[in-house]
Structure 1
Amino acid sequence: MIQWDAATIKQFQDTLLGWYDAHGRALPWRRDHAPYHVWLSEVMLQQTGVQTVIPYYERWLAHWPTLTDLAAADEAAVLKEWAGLGYYSRARNLLKTAQIITQERGGQWPTTAAGLKQLPGIGDYVAGAVASIAFGEPVPAIDGNAYRVFARLLLIDTDIRSGAAQRVFRAAITPLIPQDRPGDFNQAVMDLGSSYMTAKHPDSAHSPVAAFDAAYQQGVTDQYPVKSAKKKPVAKTYTALVLTTPDGQAVWQQRPSRGLLASLWTWPLLTGDQRAATVPELLTQLAAAHAITMASAAVLRDQSVGAGSVTHVFTHQHWTVYLRHLTLAAPTALPANARWLPLAQQTLAEPTLQRKMAAYYNKNKTD
């Protein structure tokens, strides 16, 4: 790993910040340094692209312009507004943090990264971003951009998926951060990593920091950052039951409060490929898995939906979901975590997976 002297560090800071001042992205959360805005945007941006986040961010602030407004929000409304960004625990933690700051801290944010990390859902990266941008603490915000930029600049060969990565990169980056503009420095690194120093097809030759880029100078850009192979997601198979009545009502079920898709609403899901199961077998599994009892229901129609499936990839799991449609003569009683609602309900928070299932159903259903 390369270490720069004080003169080189100053030249790098001036070059990077000069470029950022002239060419930094004009993003809605950069209009001010309000901690609510910085925090919200950084949580939304985790594993989601800027262009996707912008409309979510603007709609969110239209609903809850201040942290106090968010603290008073209903969790179901928060989850519905978050729908499509994935990792719904982040939305629940946004609500919890807003409530803690407004109700327990008198509206006062922690002003250091260490203090911010005590709040729900705030890890090293978000804490560093908020502390540096909103409060001027000279700490790094280490995300994929920072790993990529500094691995190449300084020839850091630590595997960025290793447990040592955060410590190694923090030690390397912290001395480079200017005391007077830490937030701008971190945002400049974000912009640099998403433009000239991308993961694929970087334009190192035209990068504003090409003179400091050791990997480019040595012709080994493609070797940095060092990243071990990602573990293959575990394959899971489910069957979604589309349970409807002739007048278009369907069973919607709220997922458990923990685990994937926590607290969101979907059509009931059974484990495994149940396309060949008999109706009594399906209803028995439905009662066992979800406490939805329909043993006495009159089933007017039973059919698999299409010949294919819906797929959805989570961080550690790859789901394949088949659809089975049962038309019942009339609604039956449901447990507290389920409701009869229109097949295309728009009132409850539903995950991207459910939207995929609905799109597949609408494309492949038979009248």
Structure 2
Amino acid sequence: MSKDFANRLLRWFDVHGRHELPWQHSRTPYRVWLSEIMLQQTQVATVTPYFLRFVEKLQTIRELAAASQDDVFALWSGLGYYSRARNLHRAAQLCVERHNGELPRDFEALLALPGIGRSTAGAILAQAWDLRFPILDGNVKRVLARWHGLDRWPGETKTQTQLWAFAESHTPSARVADYTQAIMDLGAGVCTRAKPRCNDCPVSDGCVAHRDGSTATLPVRKPARALPTRQTVMLVLRDACGRVLLERRAPTGVWAGLWSLPEASDEQAARFGIANTHNIAAGAIAFRALPAFTHGFSHYRLDVTPLAFEIQPGAHVADAADQRWLYPAEAAALGLPAPVRKLIATLS
């Protein structure tokens, strides 16, 4: 049955699969690895322009390793989940230090690199070298959970173990790279989360969820919980030349290491902080409110109140550590969180 599953999927892939993704031409280990990291929790349509821009600027692992963190973040800016970029950069440096500037062709060695888990390591080995390793990303979990009728949340340890066993049993010995792409394509385009196109599925006649009419409830969703909401005040501080004050965030936490706008707990703290940090007289600052907005993270919602502070001509402005005064166009070249980038773009 597992062999028949793979054969049917491969025949479908030859006709209906995606064969023109940019990381497939050419399919080098570096390009495969980069695409797999970018595709974590992000769709192909979103990733494609970022991938093309990234490999145009940094064409090899050695070039990535030698790049500054600011350069890497600038290329990644807007793609989200920035820990992926930090791990990618560090992993490239380790490849130079330990593996002569190449990705190791070994599962355990790949797994030892930051940002590479079991499924990503398997995908790299399968797609870059056609080695027989299973994968289990979100699309594959959905396909296998429905096909086998698993009625438990895939995040449970027991269910994960079962899904890995299914993934292993279905992975063929030949055309592993094509099979890996095929099952991802099936999940992305046919066995979708909502309104799956079961009539177009090459393996639907063996699918338990299709047989039982349970595609809407499988895979079982994670138990819902309300997302907490946090508040912050972002300070859009501009000098008489039109430059904006940016500061590098701490190396840990949300948006770690990125350049962002200073923040404060409320308006009073913002006014005091500006005057105190930069030694600017209160009368030399003109204040105005900007439209508030909400930014969603995977684990909470952030309500942002932007406050604009215009420093009058002649006022002395001093830089603090890890701060820069930049024109909006200059700021756009840095690694900025997406909502901060959009906010600064409105100033241009």
| TM-score, scaled to structure 2 | 0.92
Name which of 105, 116, 121 aligns with 1:127: 121
Please, which of 283, 287, 293 is the counterpart of residue 310 of structure 1? 293
Counterpart for residue 311 of structure 2 = 328
2:324 aligns to what? 339
Task: Provide TM-score, normalisation by structure 1.
Answer: 0.88
Question: Deviation at 1:316?
Answer: 0.9
CA contact (8 A) 2:248 2:260 kept: yes
Using the TM superposition, give the Cα deviation of residue 45 of structure 1 relative to its aligned residue in structure 2, in angstroms.
0.7
Distance 1:247 1:362 in 2: 13
Instruction: Note the 1:21-170 alignment, pairs <5 A.
Output: 21-25=14-18, 26-170=20-164
Q: Distance in 1 between matches of 2:171 and 2:251?
A: 41
- The amino acid that maps onto 1:95 is H
Q: Partner letter of residue 43 of structure 1?
A: I
Q: Please give the alpha-carbon distance, in whole angstroms, between the structure 2 residues aligned to 1:11 and 1:217.
A: 18
Moved more, 196-205 or 130-139: 130-139
Query: Equivalent residue of 1:164, what SS?
Result: helix
What are structure 2's unaligned runs of at least 5 residues?
none
Contact 1:15 1:209 in 2 (8 A): yes
Structure 1 unpaired stretches of 5+? 1-7
How many residue pairs end up in the alignment?
Answer: 344
Q: Give 1:340's aligned amino acid.
A: W
Deviation at 1:362, TM superposition (A): 4.5
What SS does structure 1 have at the residue aligned with 2:216?
helix
SS, match of residue 192 in structure 2: coil
* Structure-1 separation of matches of 2:189 and 2:65: 36
* SS of aligned partner of 2:244: strand
2-structure distance, mates of 1:101, 1:245:
43
Partners of 1:284 and 1:295 within 8 A in 2: no
Residue of structure 1 in register with 2:241 after alignment: 247
Aligned with residue 6 of structure 2, among 4, 13, 16: 13
Structure 2 CA distance for partners of 1:286 and 1:245, relative to 1, 3 Å:
closer
Of stretches 234-243 and 217-226 in structure 1, the one that deviates more from structure 2 is 217-226
- CA distance in structure 2 between the partners assigned to 1:148 and 1:331 by the alignment: 59
Q: CA deviation at 1:175?
A: 1.3
Q: CA 1:339 to 1:15, structure 2 compared with 1: closer, same or farther past 3 Å?
A: same
Question: Is the deviation greater in 189-198 or in 226-235?
Answer: 226-235
Conservation of the 8 A alpha-carbon contact between 2:30 and 2:103: no
Task: Tell me, yes or no, if the aligned pair for 2:151 and 2:219 is still in contact at 8 Å.
Answer: yes
Residue 197 (str. 1) matches residue 191 (str. 2): yes
Tell me the residue number matched to 1:256: 250
- Kept in 2: contact 1:299–1:326 (CA 8 A): no
Distance 1:131 1:336 in 2: 43
Verify the 8 A CA contact 1:239 1:323 in the aligned structure 2: yes
Asked if 1:292 is matched to 2:277, the reply is: yes
RMSD: 2.0
**Equivalent residues of 2:153, 2:159 under 8 A apart:** yes
Residue by residue over 1:112-135, the C-alpha shift from the partner in whole angstroms, topping out at 9 and shown as x without a partner, is: 333211001111221121122123
Task: Work out which of the residue numbers 205, 216, 221 in structure 2 matches 1:211.
Answer: 205
- Residues of 1 paired with 2:223 and 2:273: CA distance? 38
SS at match of 2:150: coil
